[in-house]
Structure 1
Amino acid sequence: MSSKQTEIQQAFQQQMDEKELLNCMRCGFCLPSCPTYIESGQQETHSPRGRIALMKAVRDGVIEPDEDVEHSLNLCLGCRACEPVCPSGVKYGRLLEDARDIIQQHKKQSIPVKLVRRVVFKGLFPSQSRMRQAAGLLRFYQTSGLQTAARKTGMLKVLPPHLRLMEQALPKVPRQRKSRLPEYKAAGPARKRVAFFTGCLMDTVFSSTNEATIQLLQLAGCDVIVPPIQTCCGALHGHSGEKEQAKQLAKRNIEAFEEIDADAIVMNAGGCGAFLSDYDHLLCDNPDFQKRSEAFSKKITDISDILVELEFHRRMPLALPEQVITYQDSCHLRNGMGVQHAPRVLMKAIQGVSFKEMKDSGRCCGSAGIYNILQPKMSMQILDHKMTEATQTKAAAIVTSNPGCQLQMAAGIKRSGHSPSMRAVHLADLLLEAVLFG
């Protein structure tokens, strides 16, 4: 065993939660819910219980933490579909994050990989100004004629097929605003005072969805506070082995929101929401933030939940032209936060719309943060299965509650040849369309 492998094994012994590893009874209830287990031809090492067995074997010194172990962990989507069906309540997502973090912090990396990770995780996502600049460049690419020229001349053929597909699926990036108002008053008597978590990707590439979300909250009777110093939620860092950076971002967000006397902290991205609601675990070893993180996490609420609570769908006329729609659950919204009923209540309340549930709507679409970039083969297999089920509904719109899911489903629509008769749309955008049409 190399010195690096020895370090990894020692870190597993010191940092992995042995009690949580032993909680797995190897009953197999998780197997039918795991996309990678199914798509890999039911390989045990690509199942939740198989990966837990690998983690425990590394911790116990039975096997070496070699490339096969790392590949198995990296191939996991982190969708957490195994958690709701686990009779022992194993917190698999936390085990996966801890294992990835240990490997990432102790493995030897090339200089280019180190540079890219530093730019992405420390330079780009934690800085909203840099995120706006990047989105501005993307908008320039789309509107200046560069995108048209790149496509016509075949320049994009230098990219791998999955990245070409992602380029085609990118939404039109809105013009970047320099700042956002700190407060938005309710349209009518205020029934709640809420804080809004804007997110990094949501407030740049998907800023129009954030605008729609704020309008919906106002119409529902909410005064909306937007803390200007909030930052990236840290989910991408936490899932990619940059846990310390995720903790720093969590502290910044807690400090940004804790002075606001808000009834709830509302977000519109399932991936962000699940990570924000788990800050109390992320910072459980920090005495200064233990109670503060618990108070923060308890307030995290998805936009769909608060709209249903305030009976927005009953108080506001909602209508759209006749069409069939279906819904792709955000894995972390459904499995991490337990939100699956509220989005469906809202969609079914729209006059003129026929909601049709797709088979396996709760199964991951294959986006999983940057999984579709790092694991394109498995991601496309999962996406193809998803599009087969979506096509069966004959839906004109696949509604989502997470930006990654929306991009992935848009890519699936392109890949399956269903554009422009089918579109991927965020729930907030669909609801605002229904308000304006109704």
Structure 2
Amino acid sequence: MTTLAKKERIQKEFKEKMDYDELLNCMRCGFCLPSCPTYIESGNDEAHSPRGRIALMKAVVDGVIEPDNDVKRSLDLCLGCRACEPVCPSGVKYGHLLEQARDIIYQNKKQSLAEKTARGIVFNKLFPNQKQVINATSLLSFYQHSGLQKIARGIGFMKLFPESLQTMEKVLPSVPKRKELKNRPSNLPALQEKKKRVAFFSGCLMDTIFMATNDATMTLLQYAGCEIVVPHTQNCCGALHGHSGEREKAKEMAKRNIIAFEHTKADYIITNAGGCGAFLVDYGYLLKDDPEWSIRAGLFSDKIKDITSILYDLDFHHENLELEEQIVTYQDSCHLKNGQKTYEEPRKLIQSIRGVNYVEMKEASRCCGSAGIYNIVESEMSMKILDHKMKQTKQTKAKTVITANPGCLLQMKLGIEREGLSSTMRAVHIVDFLLEAYKTNH
């Protein structure tokens, strides 16, 4: 297919698949501009703002411009943090528009053999299959525990990689061994008077690289009075696919998750990763045009609840929580705040701990620059955004920076390492922090 034919096809699909009413909802008021990290870090480049990107999408639909590389670049540089949505007076669902546009472009984009192979492995082989995720993670575990990591660092092998990846390798958590990764619970009783029956969305990377945090999450739920069921037929939430132009694959994965959780008889489906939770909440929208699945997807999405939200609802903040005196701050997960609308609960839980001096970070809800794999594929912009975040973090003088999403956690660890603050500051997931506080007096 010629380049011209491909552009015509992309333009045709923009007209057919983009939500034109949603594009028209944008009033071009500019309220979104101060909330957009890429707009600010690009020197107020309108093409890298939500308003500018919507204008580009509409212009392609209207045939005013061609869907060229400049359009693609503008969309690629977007973090997808959705910080523009809460401040939009018209309530534009920018995240939905971004996913629609990326899907059209990437499904029609000519890919190099290397890119096609990489996307095929990641999107079709790895993340849709938890066994493959375990296999891949087991290699990382072997690297960490066999002595290879020490050798690689000693001979300077890591210097062959970009600086951000070198630092990321240093801050990765210690990954459990393969036997532990495969020996996961399916049912756990409440350890207090039973209040709720919940199903736990364990995720793919959360149940491997961050398995300790998943274990802490389930322990907290038990202490809060929850009986837990963990469906072993669940799979990756599909967020990476949905955000990267693989919507059909995301729909397949959504359907598998809906089937896995439908018969759990759970009051809620609990998540502990802001990015996953926001995508799970959107299953109703993702499958809205599928008559067979739209109602089932809506029922599934209605049950999604973040771990901080249910803990607060069950009065966990009234438990005897205590830690040594320390200054603590909180970095919002973009998708937990903007997608799941969960903002106050984590703060109230943190503030309920004796010994904690909570200091609100300036612009706490501004993206840290992680955004899934954004910090790998758009490293330069990601590091600019992280540098700004670390300035705000250091102003709090916090000993502990708390997050509610694995990507944010690694990004903040990366920032702490880059700033040379590892001896005086740590980043920790909120459930690990709360479990520390609970165990002090129990």
TM-score w.r.t. structure 2 length? 0.98
CA distance in 1, matches of 2:427, 2:78: 25
Q: CA deviation at 1:420?
A: 2.3
Q: Deviations over 1:388-411 (max 9, x none)?
A: 100111111110000000000000
Which residue of 2 is the match for residue 272 of structure 1? 276
The 10-residue stretch of structure 1 (171-180 or 161-170) with the greater mean CA deviation from structure 2: 171-180
Structure 2 counterpart of 1:41, from 35, 40, 43: 43
SS at match of 1:293: helix
Structure 1 counterpart of 2:406, from 374, 385, 403: 403
Structure 1 counterpart of 2:313, from 309, 333, 356: 309
Structure 2 counterpart of 1:76, from 78, 100, 105: 78
SS at match of 2:327: strand
Q: Deviations over 1:266-316 (max 9, x none)?
A: 0000000000000000001111111100100000000000000000110x2
CA distance in 2, matches of 1:128, 1:39: 37
Structure 1 counterpart of 2:202, from 190, 198, 213: 198
Which residue of 2 is the match for residue 105 of structure 1? 107
Which residue of 2 is the match for residue 418 of structure 1? 421
**Correspondence list, 1:153-192, <5 A:** 153-175=155-177, 176-192=180-196
- 1:232 paired with 2:231, answer no
Q: Deviations over 1:146-183 (max 9, x none)?
A: 11111121111111112112112211112333132221
Letter in 2 for 1:150: A
CA distance in 1, matches of 2:184, 2:144: 24
Letter in 1 for 2:27: M
CA distance in 2, matches of 1:202, 1:8: 36
Letter in 2 for 1:286: D
Q: CA deviation at 1:139?
A: 1.1
Letter in 2 for 1:283: L
CA contact (8 A) 2:274 2:334 kept: yes
Alignment gaps of 5+ in structure 1: none
- 1:249 paired with 2:258, answer no
Letter in 1 for 2:190: A
Which residue of 1 is the match for residue 299 of structure 2? 295
Which residue of 2 is the match for residue 94 of structure 1? 96
CA distance in 1, matches of 2:34, 2:384: 16
Q: CA deviation at 1:188?
A: 2.4
CA distance in 2, matches of 1:368, 1:28: 23
CA distance in 1, matches of 2:37, 2:161: 27
CA distance in 2, matches of 1:326, 1:146: 35
Structure 2 counterpart of 1:350, from 350, 353, 369: 353
SS at match of 2:8: helix
The total of aligned residue pairs comes to: 437
Structure 2 counterpart of 1:85, from 77, 84, 87: 87
Q: Deviations over 1:9-57 (max 9, x none)?
A: 0010000010000000000000000000000010000000000000001
CA distance in 2, matches of 1:189, 1:399: 29
CA distance in 2, matches of 1:322, 1:124: 43
Letter in 1 for 2:320: P
CA contact (8 A) 2:186 2:231 kept: yes
Q: CA deviation at 1:418?
A: 0.5
CA distance in 2, matches of 1:303, 1:11: 39
RMSD: 0.8
Which aligned runs of 4 or more in structure 1 are off by greater than 3 angstroms?
Answer: none
Which residue of 2 is the match for residue 329 of structure 1? 332
Structure 2 counterpart of 1:223, from 224, 227, 239: 227
CA contact (8 A) 2:141 2:176 kept: yes
CA distance in 1, matches of 2:185, 2:74: 45
Which residue of 1 is the match for residue 121 of structure 2? 119
CA distance in 2, matches of 1:47, 1:171: 34
CA distance in 2, matches of 1:420, 1:146: 25
Which residue of 1 is the match for residue 323 of structure 2? 320
- 1:283 paired with 2:314, answer no
Q: CA deviation at 1:77?
A: 0.2
Which residue of 1 is the match for residue 150 of structure 2? 148
Q: CA deviation at 1:317?
A: 1.2
Which residue of 2 is the match for residue 381 of structure 1? 384
Q: CA deviation at 1:144?
A: 1.3
Instruction: Tell me the percent identity.
Output: 61
TM-score w.r.t. structure 1 length? 0.99
CA distance in 2, matches of 1:92, 1:297: 19
